[in-house]
Each structure stands twice: as C-alpha cells, then as structure tokens.
Amino acid sequence: MKLKHFIEKRKGLLMWVLFGGTIVIVFLLGLLAASVNERRAEIATLFSNKRVEITGIESRNEIWGENYPREFETWQKTADTSFQSKHNGNKFVDVLEQRPEMVVLWAGYAFSQDYSAPRGHMHALDDMRHSLRTGAPMTAEEGPQPATCWACKSPDVPRMMAEVGIENFYSKKWAAFGHEIVNPIGCADCHNPQNMNINISRPALAEAFERMGTDIGKSSIQDLRSLACAQCHVEYYFKGDGKYLTFPWDKGMTVEAIEEYYDEAGFTDWTHKLSKAPMLKAQHPDYELFKLGPHAQRGLSCADCHMPYKTDGAIKYSDHQLVSPVMNIDRTCQSCHRDSKENLMKYIYEYQDKVLEIRDRVEKELVKAHVGAKYAWDNGATEKQMEPVLKQLRAAQWRWDFAVASHGASFHAPVETQRILAHSLDRTYQAQLEVQKVLASLGVKGEIPAPDISTKEKAQEYIGLDMKELRAKKEVFTSTIIPQWLEKAKANKRLL
C-alpha cells in the first residue's frame, strides 16, 4: 500500500492517535516537571535549612538532628516497644523461654544463656551491654567477646576504626571500647554528611563485594537503599586470631555456597557440648535471603517497605522509624498493592505460619539428634563411628539457623526459606539414622532417654549451665562498669 494512500484511508484514525499521543506526552511531561520541581524544592529546603556544618565521622545523632528534624524525630521512634504483629514486633521477647529447644541446640555456646528477639535500633547498645552473651568484663582486657561485636551497633564504630585502624579495632577486647561506643545506630552509619548520600561506612561489606569483583561505589541509588542495611543484616564471621569481620560470600550468597566456604576454610563457631559436632552459628542473613525472594527480584529494596515515605505539608521524606511494615500497611504494601489491609496481612501471616510450622518440627527433631549423639558417646562410641553423625548434625543445624535467624525471611523469601528448612529436616533425620547405626553396632538397645526440657530453666540445667553465677557476675558488671563507661563518654563529650 502506498504511504499517501494509507494516510488518506486512515486519516481519521491517525488524527485520533496523534491527538491521544500528544495528550499523554503533555501529561507525562507535566508529571515529570512536577516531580522534579517537588524533589528540587525538597532538596533545596533541606540544604538551605542546614543549621550546623558536619565534618568527619560525626557519631552524635543529635547534631545531625539540628539539620534534619523530620528524619531525626522518626529515627528516635525506634525506641518504641509497643508494637506487636503476629510473630514479630519491637517488644522484648525472651526467645529461649518461648522455645527451650534452642538452649539444647546451642549447648556450649553463649546463645544458650541468653537470646531475645530483635528490637528497634535505639536499643542495640543497651541490649548488647545487658546480654549475658557479652559476659562481665571488669577490665578492658578481659571478657568472652572481641571488639568486633560492636561492629553492627553504633556510628562510633566507623569513628573508632578511623582513629585506631580497622585491624587494630577488631583485635581488641569488647570492653576496650565500652566508653567510646555509646551512640545508638544512627546517621553516620548510613550517610555522608556533605550531601546526605548513602555512605557505606562498614569495611566488611565493601571488602566482600571487592572479592566478588564488584565496586560497591558504583551502586545505583536503589541498590544502596538495601546495601545500607546489608552492612549489618547479613551472615558474617570473625576471621582468624585478629577476629577480622568477614562476610563469607566468596562462593555465593546461598546457604550451600556459604557452607562450602566455611567447610573449605575449616571454620567452626563452637563444638556442641552434647553431640561434640563442629557447629556453625548463622547470624541474620536478611539481605542474602531477601535477594532470593519475589520482591527483590522485582527490584525492590529494604527501604521500600521499612522506610516508607511520609509527608509533612509539602515535604516528602523517608520515615526513619525502621520497624515491621505491618505497622504501616497503608504506607508500605498499599503504596503498590491495591488490596485490603486484611488481605495483605493475611499474605504475610500465611507465609510465616507455614514456615514456622516446619521450623518447630525441625527444632524438636534436632534436639533428639543431639541427645542421641550424646547417648552414643556415653555408650562408648569412637570418633570414627561418630563422624557421619556429626557431619549431618553440622549441616542440619546450619540450615535451620540460616532459615530462622533472619526474622523476616519467611516473608522476604518464603519459597527459599521452605526449601532450606526441608533440607534441614532431611539432614536431621539422616543424623538420627546415623545415631541408630552407631547404637546398633555398640549393641545398645531400647529408646534413647529423653531429657525434660519443657522450660528454659530445665533446659539450661540439663546442659549444665550455672545461670545463678552468670547472672550474679553480670549484675556486678551492669551496676559498676556500664555507669563508668557512660560517665566517661559524657565527660569526653562523646555522648550528649
């Protein structure tokens, strides 16, 4: 068909298409101009209202608050402890009391003494100082933990690293920096004060990406809205005698790739007190698991659900109260999904309930496997005989921990989390089977005696913990050393 002829014939239609197209373009340009103007106006207001000039690593959040009162006020609300969803929230919850099985799973490791659910960022330092896991160091040179433990708790960490050197920081004892690390997770953890861009302040994250061949400095803004969180909400370990904080991602970020990394490095967090298995402790691989879920695969970042926009008159800003998105469904899920609040909550709770159903099975069976292994040792099993048992126990518990230690995973990546738990259950039964083989070869008959671990106290007694003594020592530490640390920090103006 000749072009002229075509135009003649379709003139009416073309006119309408042109007309419609023009309207759409004008509308879109209008939107763009409006949003650019709005954003410009916001940023201009932000910077022209700067009241103090911030230089260097400023860990005192109150000083940043002078310039950015909205972000500061919402950030302060992470102190709130009144919200509870079906399975999470910011209330204090003693997890060992809820699930005493975990005491047995962590026998021989500090987590069996004390483990509570995460709360808001404002409590990070306090919760850590008061946890039995940090012990009761009365001097700067003693105590069970290295300074590396501070790494995910405060903007004073990058400040001290700059002052004493990264390696030097990690290799000290935890108590060495008690009077320096005093401001809760805040602005300097995530921002560059010059332009308020997201700044990766933790070397471990940048180093991990570097080993994978990626320059984190070239990340998009959308990626940075997750990477800011990946400085802390990840799997990690303390490498070597210098306790150098390391993210084990060299072979990939899946549960299997990280296990392979640890196996190859011959790394073990602790030897299980009952089964003597060489154990791994998963930390909180929120970032790694989130990346495998449906939302990350559609390009979402942590901040899309955990830092929704808020408006104050004409100003749109990011809510810095990092909490469960269930608290603000209207500003989180509903900013993208046209669905009722009830339905959206139902999705979340259904994903979680299904994962927790398997988790509870795994915990009960894993306990039996450890107790069975102990029974085999007690009946004279040899190291050679126990080797297959211990191998399965390490693999089973690593998978369980990886799936549940990150409290958001059952929603962030429900299918991956179910997959990991299924493998954990499989390994747990294989461990039990191997125990039975050992017992049979030893000629031991009958049931494996089951301990009474119906409460946290009973479970702690069963694994041989003297909780009274641990608590008494901690009490001395909290009533004498902590006040000294804070007093010194105030005198040095490190704490306002």
Residues 369-388 that bind ligand HEC (CB under 6 A): none
Please name the residues in contact with 38: beta carbons below 8 A apart, sequence gap of 6 or more.
Answer: 314, 316
Do residues 322 and 307 lie in contact, with contact meaning Cβ atoms separated by under 8 Å?
yes
* 107 touches ligand HEC (CB under 6 A): no
* Residue (191 or 456) nearer to ligand HEC, CB: 191
Query: DSSP labels for 339-358?
Result: S-HHHHHHHHHHHHHHHHHH
Segment 57-76, which members bind ligand HEC (CB under 6 A)?
61, 64-65, 68, 71-72, 75
Task: Give the separation between CA 230 and CA 489, rounded to whole angstroms.
Answer: 28
Segment 432-451, which members bind ligand HEC (CB under 6 A)?
none
Do residues 99 and 301 lie in contact, with contact meaning Cβ atoms separated by under 8 Å?
no
Task: Give the separation between CA 170 and CA 151, rounded to whole angstroms.
Answer: 9
* 324 touches ligand HEC (CB under 6 A): yes
* 261 touches ligand HEC (CB under 6 A): no
Task: Give the separation between CA 207 and CA 188, rounded to whole angstroms.
Answer: 19
Segment 272-301, which members bind ligand HEC (CB under 6 A)?
286-287, 290, 294-295, 298, 300
CA distances from 419 to 35, 125, 128, 266, 363 (A): 42, 34, 32, 25, 16
* 152 touches ligand HEC (CB under 6 A): yes
* 229 touches ligand HEC (CB under 6 A): yes
Count of positions on this chain that bind ligand HEC (CB under 6 A):
71
* Residue (335 or 382) nearer to ligand HEC, CB: 335
* Residue (45 or 455) nearer to ligand HEC, CB: 45
Question: Which of 205, 245, 277, 333 is the binder for ligand HEC (CB under 6 A)?
Answer: 333
Strand partners, 270: 279
Name the minimum Å distance from CB 329 to ligand HEC.
7
* 335 touches ligand HEC (CB under 6 A): yes
H/E element holding 315?
strand 315-318
The helices-and-strands tally (H runs, E runs) of the chain is: 21, 6
Nearest to 234 by CA among 215, 252, 253, 221: 253
* 354 touches ligand HEC (CB under 6 A): no
Question: Which of 60, 99, 121, 427 is the binder for ligand HEC (CB under 6 A)?
Answer: 121
Question: Which of 114, 180, 269, 304 is the binder for ligand HEC (CB under 6 A)?
Answer: 304
* Residue (196 or 390) nearer to ligand HEC, CB: 196
Question: Which of 99, 129, 320, 423 is the binder for ligand HEC (CB under 6 A)?
Answer: 320
Q: Residue 178 — φ and ψ, nearest 5°?
A: -55, -35
Question: Which of 58, 114, 156, 189 is the binder for ligand HEC (CB under 6 A)?
Answer: 189
Segment 194-223, which members bind ligand HEC (CB under 6 A)?
196, 198, 221
* Residue (108 or 325) nearer to ligand HEC, CB: 325
Q: What is the DSSP letter of 116?
A: B
Task: Give the separation between CA 115 and CA 133, rounded to whole angstroms.
Answer: 8
* Residue (61 or 430) nearer to ligand HEC, CB: 61
